[in-house]
Amino acid sequence: MRFPPPVCALNFPIGMNPGLAKAIGVMMKLDFERAVLNRVPEIEANPDKHFREVLFLCDEYQHFATVGENDPTGDEKFFSLSRQPKCIPIVATQSISSLRSALPGESWRTLLQTFRTKIFLTLADDFSARTASELCGREDRLKVSYNLSESGHDARVSLLTGNALSHRANITASKSYNTQKDYRFDMKVFTELRNAQSIVVAYDGLNPIPPCYCYLKPYYNDPNKSYFQQLEEGAL
């Protein structure tokens, strides 16, 4: 007989005591991470035994994020080891700026690099949009430049209008192409994403996937219809 996996839930209204609610939430998270990492010796001692995956799901993650830096405890160390104990961490935060303001110094960069797959929805602040654009990297793009020039022989100045005049004038137009390194997705792209649109920097477990658009569908809509059909019908 198989029993459902245990679920630990805390019902503590944050409006009653925000500081206490955050402290309890952080302690529960750290205790969960400790319990998950304790599975590693057991998994290594029983290689033929099947161990179920563990899910760590956290919304408003910026309120519970902790970085140990020199301390052995910290989310960045847990996420870097989470694949070995078969843990699937999924966290959601308001923006990169909110995560940055909750952590000391530049430690948010250490934590952010442990997230191999990143899904960016619409970003409202310039720092988050700029950081997301930099994370997507640069690529070679073909740039077009135009040049228009005019030349004249035996030019003279008109006494009436003061403009340069010439009986023999040449006009030259040129068009050239060159490649330049430019952002794959500019900051403007992140700030103008529509509803149910995102940009994903994905990792399939073996190789990273180049950043690309990802069109989302709400769970309550018809799964047999594509994003573009639902958009045309006004369901999004």
3-state secondary structure 78-139: HHHHCCCCCEEEEECCCCHHHHHHHCCCCHHHHHHCCCCCEEECCCCCHHHHHHHHHHCCEE
Report the pLDDT value the prediction gives residue 14, as an integer from 0 to 100: 62
Q: Is residue 10 part of a domain?
A: no
> If phi over 0 gives left and psi between -120 and 50 gives alpha, with beta otherwise, what is residue 179?
beta
Residue whose pair of structure tokens reads 């018809």 in the numeric block: 222
Asked whether residue 3 carries a pLDDT value surpassing 60, the answer given is no
190-230 residue pLDDT tens: 999 988 899 999 988 888 889 999 998 888 888 888 888 88
The CATH number of residue 95's host domain is 3.40.50.300
For residues 114 and 55, state if they share a domain. yes
For residue 151, CA distances in Å to 140, 147, 148 come to 35, 13, 10
Asked whether residue 135 carries a pLDDT value surpassing 60, the answer given is yes
Report the pLDDT value the prediction gives residue 7, as an integer from 0 to 100: 67
18-51 residue pLDDT tens: 788 888 888 888 888 898 888 888 888 888 888 8
For residues 149 and 54, state if they share a domain. no
For residues 54 and 156, state if they share a domain. no
Distance CA 55, CA 86 (A): 9
Q: Is residue 4 part of a domain?
A: no
Distance CA 14, CA 17 (A): 6
Q: Is residue 129 part of a domain?
A: yes
Q: Is residue 69 part of a domain?
A: yes
For 169, the domain range is 141-179
For residues 200 and 169, state if they share a domain. no
Domain count within the chain: 2
Report the pLDDT value the prediction gives residue 162, as an integer from 0 to 100: 60
Report the pLDDT value the prediction gives residue 200, as an integer from 0 to 100: 93
Asked whether residue 139 carries a pLDDT value surpassing 70, the answer given is yes
Distance CA 134, CA 66 (A): 24
In DSSP terms, which residues pair with 212 in a beta bridge?
200
For residues 193 and 222, state if they share a domain. yes
Q: Which of 95-108 are b and which e, b meaning 16 or more Cβ less than 10 Å from the residue's Cβ? A: bbbbbbebbeeebb
Q: Is residue 98 part of a domain?
A: yes
For residues 147 and 133, state if they share a domain. no
142-189 residue pLDDT tens: 888 888 777 766 666 666 666 666 666 667 778 888 888 888 888 899
Question: Which helix (H) or strand (E) covers residue 219, if one does?
Answer: none
52-80 residue pLDDT tens: 888 888 888 888 888 876 767 788 888 88
For residues 24 and 133, state if they share a domain. yes
Distance CA 63, CA 67 (A): 12
For residues 201 and 95, state if they share a domain. yes
77-134 residue pLDDT tens: 888 888 888 898 999 998 999 988 888 888 888 888 889 899 999 998 889 999 999 9
Contact 103, 67 (CB under 8 A): yes
* Token pair recorded at residue 123: 């970003």
For residues 199 and 83, state if they share a domain. yes
For residue 185, CA distances in Å to 93, 98, 141 come to 21, 22, 12
For residues 94 and 29, state if they share a domain. yes
Q: Is residue 8 part of a domain?
A: no
Confidence tier at 8 by pLDDT (50, 70, 90): low
